[in-house]
Amino acid sequence: MPEVFPGGDGALRIQERLDALARISAEPGAITRLYLTPEQARAEVLVAGWMREAGMDVRRDAVGNLIGRIEGRRPGGPALVIGSHLDTVRNAGRYDGPLGVLTGIACVEALLREGVPPVALEVVGFADEEGVRFSATLTGSRAFSGHLEPAALRTLDASGTTLAAAMRAYGLDPGAVATAARAPETILGYVELHIEQGPMLEREGLPVGLVTAISGASRLEITLTGEAGHAGTVAMTERRDALVGAAECVLAIEARCRGEGHLVGTVGRIQAWPGAVNTIPGQARFSLDLRAPDDAQRSAALADIEAACRRIAVRRRLGFGIALLHEADAVPCDPALTALIGAAIAAEGYPVLALPSGAGHDGMAVAAIAPIAMVFVRCRGGISHNPAEFASLEDIEAGARVLLRAIRGFVAARAEPE
């Protein structure tokens, strides 16, 4: 097979571009690129230049997604899309998102050196996967798939600016958002390369992995109500301490989620009122983020957790309330595309480790209009959303070779006899 890059310097070239993007930040000494900011604009200019250098035609759609395209043998035909996102969380690492975009550009460039591909190829740098500024994830990819609700335009950032106003200030027309939507017949499939954001590949000593599904998620808020009282005068046996009840609930959540593979539950926030050092907490509220690659598994766990927390509340004489804040179904990866990636991993000489993604990705939105698949690249310590985020040059090269081989297999299968 031809090398991914002339001279075999593919990983180094990708890394140099990652480093160049990392220098575009709203915060000195950190990597912060939020949606519809000057930093996003500068990143778009840089990535658009690399797309053009690779031979692609480049455009920006109505929500700010950056799209590079090369035509197949039938101009205007449907495309295989390779993508990820260009925005970051605050104080981010440099690999989450951009690695998939830049590796996609590199693979398209390699394919163009072999001639015009049988089908069109697109690389998309999605504009707002993280959702940091407006607290709404997958904005770019939801618009791309035609599932961005009009109400999203009224969401506010921390300064009180609406999404619609921010789009206008950025040079976009919020009234044209619908034009970003792609019809299913224009997309043959979607493939995303991403760092794993977890420890499994490192644990198994493998540079790449095969994603089977993107986990569904439920986010809830649970409230326990007891009775505030004096810390020195209310006997321990008479207390209705809401915070102690919440602590027991947190342990029950941990116990339930430890019992099943790929099921994870996280309590990331807990608050107590009145919050005085010498007062028994009369109310406690905590979050629950529950994820699993199978929706039935997640639903069963959620039912068990709610029942356990209710029992704790009854035993401790506490009021109980639960509110669902967010729910997203699991997204299974397409069997045919996944088989291509698995074959590519094996052809590169690696065992095929199949694993779900516990984190959300743009593919969750794109799956509404196209089959999707993902390649994971090992990241050190499983760390992401953190300046310590790291993927080695060797692992980047392995991921690029797997992605290229899978893309080549996909387009070859659709080649018509000359």
Residue-wise pLDDT for 7-23, tens only, equals 457 899 999 999 999 99
> Would the pLDDT of 415 be above 80?
no
Ranges 6-15, 53-62, 80-89, 401-410: which has the least confidence: 6-15
Domain boundaries, the chain: 6-214+331-413, 216-328
Asked if pLDDT for residue 237 goes beyond 80, the answer is yes
Q: How far is CA 147 from CA 110, 183, 340, 344, in A?
A: 33, 12, 28, 32
Count other C-beta atoms under 10 Å from residue 188's C-beta.
22
Could you read off the pLDDT of 368-390 as tens digits, one per residue?
A: 999 999 999 999 999 999 999 99
CB-CB contact of 378 with 193 (8 Å): no
Predicted confidence band of residue 136 (pLDDT cuts 50, 70, 90): confident
Cβ 80 vs Cβ 336: under 8 Å: no
Span 398-418, mean pLDDT? 87
Class of domain 6-214+331-413: alpha beta
Per DSSP, the chain holds a count of helices (H) and strands (E) of 11, 16
pLDDT exceeds 90 at position 3:
no
Of the pLDDT bands very low, low, confident and very high (cuts 50, 70, 90), residue 151 is: very high
* pLDDT for residue 297: 96
Domain 216-328: which CATH class?
A: alpha beta
